[in-house]
Amino acid sequence: MASVATRFMGPPNIKLYAAGLLLLNLLACASKPAMPEMQHHMIMSARAEAFTQTMRRLWAEEVILRRRYVSDGTQELRTRLLAKQEEISNAIAPYYGADAAQKLTDLLERRALMAPDDPHARENSAAIAALLKIPTIAAMLDDLFPMKELSPAFNQGMAIADAFAHGIVMQFPDRF
């Protein structure tokens, strides 16, 4: 007979636990930015705040999809993970243009399928940072690879989202 812990943490309850953890993290992250200096140094307009929340949603979904893909590796999850990279790129297209968005899609898709020990991982992260002219995101993207625990990866994803948003708002202040 299975122990109480084994019965409690069966597959359906693990999913429920993961969903609860995601919800708690989303609620916590919605109340405070991962990069506090973003709000400290500037008062964000409603448009900048909306863009930041869009980036946070996209990166939260990306982290969850990546975690599931690493665990399950199904074709459906691979397709959804790659589609999420395109969604992230589409969000920056109004600022950098369609060509840059397509380059970002290509880089993010490559990154999404790379193993953490891939020798080209750092080059890929650096290329993303250079394309967007946001140098701080290179190291953040590299740090996102170790996906052993969801909570730290999620928090790192939120820091990346904030860095994307902050960098874009700072580069295109007249659009916000």
Reported for 100-103, long-range contacts at CB under 8 A and 24+ positions apart, including other chains, are 100/131, 100/132, 103/131
Question: How far is Cα 172 from Cα 151, in angstroms, rounded to an integer?
Answer: 32
Give me Rg for the CA atoms of the chain.
17
Instruction: State yes or no: pLDDT of 163 exceeds 50.
Output: yes
Q: Does pTM top 0.85 for this prediction?
A: no
Separation CA 176–CA 157 (nearest Å): 23
Q: For 20-36, write each residue's pLDDT tens digit.
A: 555 555 555 554 554 44
How many whole angstroms separate alpha carbon 61 and alpha carbon 13?
20
What is the tens place of the pLDDT at every residue in 58-117? 999 999 998 889 888 899 999 999 999 999 999 999 999 999 999 999 999 999 988 878
Summary mean pLDDT of the chain: 82
